[in-house]
Amino acid sequence: MVKFEGSDGKSCEFRADSVKMSEVLSELGLLKGSGVKKVLAGKLDGELLDLERALSRGGRIEAVSAESEEGLDIMRHSCAHLMAQAIEKLWPGAKFGIGPCIKDGFYYDIDVPVTLTDQDLPAIEEEMRKLAGAALKVERVEMAKDEALKFFGERGDTYKVELISELDVPGVSLYRQGDYVDLCRGPHVPDTSCLRNFKLLSIAGAYWRGDEKNVMLTRIYGTAFAAPDALKEHLRRIEEAKLRDHRKLGRELDLFSLHDEGQGFPFFHPKGMAIINTLLDFWRKEHMKRGYEEIRTPLILDRSLWLQSGHWDHYKENMYFTEIDEKPFAVKPMNCPGGMLVYRTQIRSYRDLPLRMAELGIVHRHERSGALHGLMRVRCFTQDDAHLYCTPEQVRKEVVGIMDLCDYIYREVFGFSYHIELSTRPENSMGTAEQWAVAEDALKGALESTGVKYRINEGDGAFYGPKIDFHLEDCIGRTWQCGTIQLDFQMPERFELAYVGADGKEHRPIMLHRTVLGSIERFLGILIENYAGAFPFWIAPVQVKLIPIQTQGNASPENPEKTESHEAYVRDLAATFKSWGLRVEIDNRDEKLGRRIRDAQLQKVPYMIVIGDREVETKVVAVRERSRGDLGSMSLEEFRSILNAEFNPLKETTPPKVAAD
């Protein structure tokens, strides 16, 4: 007999191998849910298992409902199988690669004998709904490896044969629903009727196993939810995200452009540079306040440096190379090795630590062409890096200081909420298990000292050390990984960095790698989408637009001096606003006033100043604000008071008084 226990302390006993997960859940009173609470699977001591899986051992039992995170993953992966079954019915001969669940959805890579487009998605969905309505039972089949190779080989399913061949296991599991069979470890929903609230979203190309040397497959994306309202809300967010697409808004707002002549290398226009330079001014101000010193290191460095740092062995496939004086060089993918050469230029004392060196370094990384995406995934970007060298006793305080800086910038300046993840040792790591344990404990101690909540992200650390990652949530609920804090014992050892301690002996410093914005280019893309291009006043590329009512194009021959007086006043206003540090544009096109106001509104300019006869004669300004509309006429002093009330982390603590005009 084997014993099972539920979370409420209730227990039951069955004979080993004679009981299914569903029977144990039922006996423990855990199989009663319906709708979003419907139980799709169970967990035995944390292991996810199908409801019909026979249990050979006892342990702690939990129910997995459709609305849970694990339940949604099961549902979405089962939807990928349902989609594959529908495609196989519609296009016999289709072959299937992999079909995992991903964040908020799923996809399947398919080798199909026709060219599929988005117009084919409704037909696939219709077939999926027929199969779901048939309530086909989903059955797990255990099969020996050789038998599975023969099974899929006879079907001509070369992709499954390749996957199975690489597995170092005696047997594999298959899942069958109706006449469709797929290689999968599971678990899956009990039957296809559990799959109701799904939607196919898009079609793209994807190389088999992500290798550009392999065949291009058709990748179909979809999503699924436990409840129809949740699906509806998700689709609404997708439509909202399309309206906020930074590539679309980047063109419309004249911020940047992308060209085939430089795939993955964005071109920034004057307005885009205005935002970037404002961000960098703010970045420098905050770092200077917090005791950082700025450095700059070369873009291209000798191969020997990258061998010493470990990048040659662990990151070579992401790097670009060149030759100088018949010697091999690499374009830097990271700033840290150059920073360590700066550290070594002097003998450092314990009195010098912590030493905080910041660098706005341009780095190049080779990304596959299919992975490139606007500003979010590029091949060249500016990393707001910093490397902190400290004693073991200083690590916790320095990590907390970085967290404080991140919190100020994310939450107070830009209004983002965020969550934190601690990423642990990856498979390709450098160093010993003991070193990693010490490093991970140091970061855990810093996190726990602040009381902040965090998640563990197993195996996702950098190859040289564990890291704390900051994931920002934007206004429509999407998350973006930006800042990171990485603790590194390895590179100080490799570069033989040292400081002289109070005992007069040399000691090895501990190094913290850190970014806050991450990539400046990517952070700009995030800001564009978060604000839908309507940037806060302090970073708006054009803060004030001057719109004269009378222009040269519609002036009357009888009274040309009126136009000249308007233009003179507009020029004076522009000069005054620029002296205040504002970014100003004049729109004196030969267009109707309403058209020019509308264009300024579409350009999402925070303030519009309309100038007519009255404004020229009384030396006032008629102000429109992009969200509040017409604010009326006012003096320059009154307008400056409004501007001074705008949030601006770059301004003085006490705004300067308005100078007499």
Identify the structural domains of the chain with CATH numbers, from first to last: 2-65 (3.10.20.30), 70-226 (3.30.980.10), 256-531 (3.30.930.10), 537-645 (3.40.50.800)
Q: Which pLDDT tens digit goes with each residue over 427-453?
A: 878 778 888 888 888 899 999 999 899
| Greater model confidence, 149 or 654 | 149
Average the pLDDT over 458-467 and give the result. Answer: 83
Residues in a beta bridge with 108: 220
Integer Cα distance of 529 and 240 in angstroms: 10
Identify whether the C-beta of residue 249 lies closer than 8 Å to the C-beta of residue 533.
yes
Identify whether the C-beta of residue 420 lies closer than 8 Å to the C-beta of residue 452.
yes
Q: Which pLDDT tens digit goes with each residue over 332-378?
A: 999 999 999 999 999 999 999 999 999 999 999 998 877 889 999 99
* The pLDDT of residue 526: 94
* The pLDDT of residue 56: 86
Q: What is the DSSP letter of 53?
A: -
Average the pLDDT over 593-616 and give the result. Answer: 94
* The pLDDT of residue 15: 82
Active-site residue numbers? 336, 365, 383, 385, 387, 467, 513
Identify whether the C-beta of residue 639 lies closer than 8 Å to the C-beta of residue 623.
yes
Q: Which pLDDT tens digit goes with each residue over 285-324?
A: 999 999 999 999 999 999 999 999 888 888 888 999 999 9
Q: Which pLDDT tens digit goes with each residue over 510-521?
A: 999 999 999 999
Q: Is 88 exposed, middle or buried (0-12, 13-18, 19+ CB in 10 A)?
A: buried
Q: Which residue has the tokens 């910041």?
A: 358
Report strand pairing: 584-586 vs 544-548: parallel
Phi, psi angles (nearest 5°) of residue 167: -80, 130
**354 token code pair:** 């912590």
Does the pTM surpass 0.95? The reply is no
